[in-house]
A and B are shown apart, each in its own frame.
Chain A
Amino acid sequence: MLGLLIRKQLREQYAGWFYNPKKNTARSRVATAGMILMTIVFGLGVFGGLMTALGLTLCDPMEQTGMIWLYFTIVGAIGLLLGVVGGAFSAYTNLYKGKDNDQLLALPIPPGDIIGSRIISVFLVTGMFSLIAVLPPLVVYWIKSGATFKKVAGGLLFALAISLIALVLGCLLGLVVAKVSTKLKNKSIITVLVSLLIMALYYVFYFRFQMLLQQITRDPEAFRKLEEIPGLKAFGLAGTGEWGPLLIMLAVTAVLIAVTLYLLIRSFYRIISESAQVSRVNYKVKNEAQKSTGRALLGRELKHLTSSPGYMLNAALGSVFLVLAGGAVLFKGGDLLDLLREDGGANLMDILTVVAAAALGMLSGMNTLTAPSVSLEGRSLWIVRSLPVDSWQVLKAKLGMHLLVTSVPTLFCSLCLILVIKSDIVGLLLILIFPQLCVLLFASFGLMMGVLRPNLNWTNEMVPVKQSLAVMLTMFGGMFYGVALGGLYFLVGVKIGATLYLVLASVLTAVLAVLILLWLKNRGTKRFEEL
């Protein structure tokens, strides 16, 4: 039974690999293999590349100074962080908010099997992020220090344990959110706040740990103190294949999994039943002011966003970071600027302007609101298709939602930067304009991906929001654009000057955005109408 449910879950989660929405047919085996390969190459290429670089930088010096356990502690901590961040926000929705809850509970299926198949679904996210973080540095270690059976087997078990611990943390967060949300009225907002609070605590812990690591490089005494932290050295040694620490780690992981499974299975039925109950709201007649079609469609998009914690946390988290970044710039930016001025060259302000504008533009790319918005129409797509609105109006509303949610915090962050950097007028304008152009480009690119790669047949909203090809391509597209602009700067920008380079980058971004918007207005609307 569990196997059947897992197959169903995988089919749904990775529908894009097996089904071609354009032709409305199943993909051939070759095409499916190609899609899977592309996903792996993207994943390994971007995150795996970064982690390989980290491994190549740290492995040799740490092994030579007898700190190899710390190497694996760092790698393991990053694996946990990426796994939890990657999966925790979707764990609640993945575990409890399936549209097929009633259907599955009505069948003779033990609740344990239902939750089991959904845990696998969470694992495919948390595990994927953790393994991409842990495996490349592990391979670097094997190559640098010589691969033995002990190191390889031990390392693989260490990677597996990390991914399972990330899964446990993600599922427990999902359980906490589910327990809290069943007792509240404004479930969506509270769920988002609780998730952000837990995430903030995790970040605080993580950054404290990072600071401690930095201290170690300067102070050997701190390294000894670190060694004394219970379990930390054993955690790292497990990665080297030391059987003792590894067995303890595996045993702890097994216990954590058992306890988590027990808690999830025990509470599943009750949580599903309670979350289906809705507190009674007595309707009071009131006058609703008439809205224009555009505002009504925009309101519909915003209502969908604010009613879905998973959508907000996964697709609009960039807005939170933008506000936090703006606050950090206001409160700490001045001190940092003074420090930089002491060592900076003549064109420090130029470079700072470029870096600030580019960083802000890329940060705004964290929001992927438009990419899943077409898929999220799901089985309700008939409504907008049957109403007297043209498809471009519908797509414009999706763009409008992205711009509204992203542009305002981006503008706030730009203003904070302007207050601190005090660049010349061109620089200030660039800090204002370039990030906004990036917002427009990422919004339209995401929508284009959403139109080209829709998945309307989901039973869990997190599938289009988090695991769709459209979202993945949008995220990687944004990253690629950032890396490409950064690379071009070193090739061209250093010769023509930072400000002129940013002006040209702004023009390029604007042109790309306009081209995509034109595609959306013409071919995009036709594709939308064919769905």
Chain B
Amino acid sequence: MLRIENLTKKYGSKAAVDDLTLHIAPGEIYGFIGHNGAGKTTTLRSVAGIQQFDTGEVFIDGVDLKRDPLECKRRMAYIPDNPDLYDYMTGMKYLNFIADIFGVDTAARKERIAELAARFELTDNLGQPIAAYSHGMKQKLAVISAWLHEPRLILMDEPFVGLDPKAAHLLKEMMRELCDRGGAIFFSTHVLEVAEKLCDKVAIIKEGRLIRSGTMEEVKGDDSLEEVFLELEAE
């Protein structure tokens, strides 16, 4: 579903991501962990087609991101760590805007918005301007907008920050549902317990370089993910 080959992104002379290779198969929830500034967001933004990278290749569902970025973007969705949405729109206007861009027809969008908003208990707030939303409400709206066009791959940067426990639980359920339908999730998180319970595979990045990746068992063995992570960070 997602193939990252030798991805390198430099800011000046410093490599934020250095020769990163990762493969994510359909049905996998892939966790991406690392300390602040390790290169997680840069990787996710590069894969999402938001920022250009220097060398390497990225394939989404077999499509080359550099050759056909629009087709790649049609097949995926991205949720940033801090969802700065359009404050001047209402929640409903924003969702309709996203649906228009992805060509979701009237009946389908009506049904999906109603279902997703109800699940996140956001229906009553959809008429409000986004400027009036709390951080958690914006995060919920960003999640709904990401799921709206039924993407094959979802990239998420710290998706649980700001969500209440109920919404966080729901999001985990939705992530699993999407993967059970053959989709894939690639997300960064600092909450190692969540990663440990939720992810099929995990990758640890340090100073832009991948230092360990694989199934949860391969990465952590008999230890906890936290112990492994702290040990690797200390090296």
Contact = CB atoms under 8 A, between A and B. Distances in A.
B86 A282 contact: no
A297 B100 CA distance: 9
Interface stretch (B70-78, B186-194, B195-203): B70-78
Contacts of A307: 88-89
B159 to A, nearest CB: 15
B110 A385 contact: no
B101 A293 contact: yes
Interface stretch (A55-63, A77-85, A376-384): A376-384
A221 interface: no
A278 B84 contact: no
B100 A293 contact: yes
A72 to B, nearest CB: 45
Q: With a 10 A CB-CB cut-off, give which of A278, A293, A296, A530 has the most chain B CB atoms.
A: A296
Given A290-B104, A290-B106, A387 B128 contact: no
B125 interface: yes
A304 B128 CA distance: 15
Contacts of A281: 90, 127-128
Given A283-B125, A290-B106, A388-B70, A378 B93 contact: no
A299 interface: yes
A107 interface: no
B132 A283 contact: no
Given A290-B104, A385-B49, A529-B52, A304 B124 contact: no
A463 to B, nearest CB: 16
Given A278-B132, A283-B92, A296 B100 contact: yes
Interface in B108-141: 109-110, 114, 123-129, 131-132
B110 A287 contact: yes
Interface string A286-297: 011111110111
Contact of A530 (B49, B52, B92, B106): B52
B32 to A, nearest CB: 17
A380 B102 CA distance: 18
A335 interface: no
A386 B73 contact: yes
Given A284-B127, A386-B50, A386-B73, A308 B88 contact: yes
B33 interface: no
Interface string A278-320: 1011111101111111011101100110011000000000000
A283 B73 contact: no
Nearest to B95: A288
Contact of A380 (B85, B96, B99): B85
B100 A380 contact: no
A295 B85 contact: no
B105 interface: yes
A387 B104 contact: no
A390 interface: yes
B114 A285 contact: yes
B179 interface: no
Q: With a 10 A CB-CB cut-off, give which of A281, A292, A295, A529 has the most chain B CB atoms.
A: A281
A389 interface: yes
Nearest to B89: A303
A290 B73 contact: no
Interface residues of B, number: 47
B86 A304 contact: yes
A288 B109 contact: yes
Contacts of A285: 110, 114
Q: With a 10 A CB-CB cut-off, give which of B88, B110, B123, B127 has the most chain A CB atoms.
A: B88
A429 to B, nearest CB: 38
B43 to A, nearest CB: 14
Contact of B100 (A282, A290, A304): A290
B126 A283 contact: yes
B84 A380 contact: yes
Contacts of A291: 100
Contacts of A296: 97, 100-101
B80 interface: yes
A389 B103 CA distance: 11
Nearest to A311: B88
A288 B50 contact: no
A307 B105 CA distance: 27
A389 B101 contact: yes
A382 B84 contact: yes
B7 interface: no
Contacts of B70: 388-390
28 contacts: A278-B131, A281-B127, A283-B126, A285-B110, A288-B106, A290-B100, A290-B103, A290-B105, A293-B103, A296-B100, A296-B101, A300-B86, A300-B89, A303-B89, A304-B86, A307-B89, A378-B84, A379-B84, A385-B51, A386-B49, A386-B78, A387-B73, A388-B71, A388-B74, A388-B102, A389-B70, A390-B70, A529-B52
Interface of B: 11, 45, 48-52, 70-71, 73-74, 77-78, 80, 82, 84-86, 88-93, 96-106, 109-110, 114, 123-129, 131-132
Given A282-B124, A296-B100, A386-B78, 17 more contacts: A283-B91, A283-B123, A288-B99, A290-B104, A293-B101, A296-B97, A307-B88, A379-B84, A380-B85, A380-B86, A386-B48, A388-B71, A388-B73, A388-B74, A389-B70, A390-B70, A529-B52
Interface of A: 24, 278, 280-285, 287-293, 295-297, 299-300, 303-304, 307-308, 378-380, 382-383, 385-390, 529-530
Q: Which 5 A-B pairs have the closest CB atoms?
A: A283-B127, A296-B100, A307-B88, A388-B73, A278-B132
